[in-house]
Amino acid sequence: MQTAESTITDEIKTQCREFENAFARGDAAGIASLYTQNGVILPSGSDIVRGKEGIRQFWQGAIDAGIKACRLDTFDVEQVDNTAIEMGYYTLLGDGSQALDRGKYLVVWKKEAGDWKLQKDIWNSNPAS
């Protein structure tokens, strides 16, 4: 029997796999489609990026810079009505699956037209080890 908590966690993890798959295809438009119409990203060391087109451009820049894939590892999801808050770890990968960056992230998800979409997305790198 699934609990409400496991169901929302599974749904968010499914969306994370979609993000990873779009990234692996080099599909910045596919990544941007996973965000709400008014989605916002708050990249480390950069200005706030707003809206699907800005988000598409940002991720296209990351892909063009040599990031070939990403791994997302969700460790906590909390739901409040039509909002979910996810925390996790990320790894950005380059050629030969070389880890280019590792860190943690927090995403605020919103239900939009029945689907979970990224509304606010912030991440930062872990210290180099």
Single-letter amino acid, residue 77: V
What whole-number distance in Å separates Cα of residue 69 and Cα of residue 38? 25
- Count CB atoms within 10 A of the CB of residue 35: 26
4-125 sits in which CATH class? alpha beta
> What letters, b where the CB count within 10 A reaches 16 and e where it falls short, cover 48-58?
ebebbebbbeb
Please tell me the predicted confidence (pLDDT) of residue 111: 93
Q: pLDDT digit string (tens) for 61-72? A: 999 999 999 999
Domain ranges of the chain: 4-125
Q: Rounded distance, CA 110 to CA 58, Å?
A: 21
pLDDT given for residue 70 in this prediction: 96
Structure tokens at 120: 């606010």
Stretches where the chain sits below pLDDT 70 are 1-6, 129
